[in-house]
Amino acid sequence: MNQNRIIEHPVLGNLENKKTITFTYDQKVLQGYEGDTIASALLANGIRLLRVHEQSGAPRGIYCNIGHCFECRMTVNEMSGVRACLTELKEDMVIESGKIQPLPFSKTTSVDELPRTYAEFTTKCQSHKEEGTHV
């Protein structure tokens, strides 16, 4: 896990002083460190492919690493669309690589069905989580 990391840094500190965190990625048990984002833990474990493009199926990985591009969307603890670059790694997280998702304006989705506000989006996500379905 440390072969792809900076092990000692004047600002980041020394990895030997960090708590190890265990998580699952695509049914494989991996480890990261306290303070890692999902993206940094996956990179440290040699994982570069995070999802595939919705239309073309082209591979996608970390691009901007600051939350603007949405290329690092994954499913985390059954919640889809989570940005790996902004989400802190937690013990026993279950992370799945991004599967091909329907496009927001595909023929199967009516514009009237799309959430208009963030509050509507989170409400819809919560109701789908309770029903056991994905948004």
Q: Of 57, 55, 111, 64, whose CA–CA distance to 84 is shortest?
A: 64
Torsion of CA 113, 115, 119, 123, to 10 degrees: 40
- Can you give the pLDDT at residue 23? 98
Buried residues in 5-29 as b, exposed as e (16+ CB within 10 A): beeeeeeeeebeeeeebebebeeee
Return d(Cα 1, Cα 101) in angstroms, integer.
Answer: 30
> Mean pLDDT per 10-residue run, the chain (135 residues)?
73 78 97 93 92 83 87 92 94 87 54 69 72 57
Q: Which domain holds residue 118?
A: 102-135
Q: 101 is written with which tokens?
A: 């998702």
The reply to whether 80 and 114 lie within a common domain is: no
- Can you give the pLDDT at residue 98? 76
- Can you give the pLDDT at residue 60? 87
The reply to whether 124 and 75 lie within a common domain is: no
The reply to whether 10 and 38 lie within a common domain is: yes
The reply to whether 78 and 134 lie within a common domain is: no
Max distance between CA atoms of the chain, in angstroms, equals: 52
The reply to whether 73 and 107 lie within a common domain is: no
The reply to whether 74 and 133 lie within a common domain is: no
- Can you give the pLDDT at residue 112? 61
Q: Are 42 and 50 in contact (CB under 8 A)?
A: yes
Count structural domains, the chain.
2
- Can you give the pLDDT at residue 52? 85
∠ CA 135-111-68, nearest 5°, is 60
* pTM value surpassing 0.85: no
- Can you give the pLDDT at residue 135? 47
User: Which helix H or strand E contains 96, and what residues bound it?
Assistant: strand 94-96
Q: What is the CATH number of the domain that holds 8?
A: 3.10.20.440
